[in-house]
Amino acid sequence: MSDLQQIPLKTITGGESTLADYQGKVLLVVNVASKCGLTPQYEGLEALYRQYHDQGFEVLGFPANNFLGQEPGTDEEIVEFCSTNFSVSFPMFSKISVAGDDQHPLYAALTAAAPTAQGDGQAMRDRLTGFGLQVNADPDIMWNFEKFLIGKDGSVVARFAPNTTPDDPIITSAIEAALA
């Protein structure tokens, strides 16, 4: 079991958990938000989950309110939003901080294991700074919907920029390789 798999987590319904609960599966860990321009990615994440779930794949959603207050809701409100608007059925976890002084240990470990993201992160960075926003530098999480692919052995395989959509071939090919 990897160190990453031992970090205590809380499900969005209040249960205790760790990534070890998903041992032997391929995981896509995503920091999500309900009021972000990237929020429609929930639809693509759900589609990925449904496409690959029977092969041993899980999407794990971690709501975070680190970027412009784009996830202000309670865990209960987040569940309602996700189920009503995107029919989310993949596992969701209690809201955490993914950046800053109060960064959750899971995200500290993820960013240490994969300090830079694949995909066109520079385009996302340029877009955000174009709006006058301060953007975190690597290895910190840039924005909502950054994605980490974790292999069956519990190690980080890849990290994807927030604007890399769930159906992007860079993600789907990485998932398929990790499942093989």
Active site positions, annotated = 36
d(CA 19, CA 6): 7
> In this structure, what token pair is assigned to residue 123?
């385009």
Helices (H), 114-168: 121-130
State how far the Cα of 70 lies from the Cα of 50, in Å rounded to an integer: 26
- CA distances (Å), origin 40, targets 70, 95, 100, 115: 13, 19, 25, 25
Strands laid side by side in the 57-63 sheet: 57-63, 26-32, 147-150, 156-160
Longest C-alpha distance within the chain, in Å? Answer: 43
Q: Are 98 and 141 in contact (CB under 8 A)?
A: yes
Q: What share of the chain is helix, strand, coil (3-state, %, to 5)?
A: 35, 20, 45
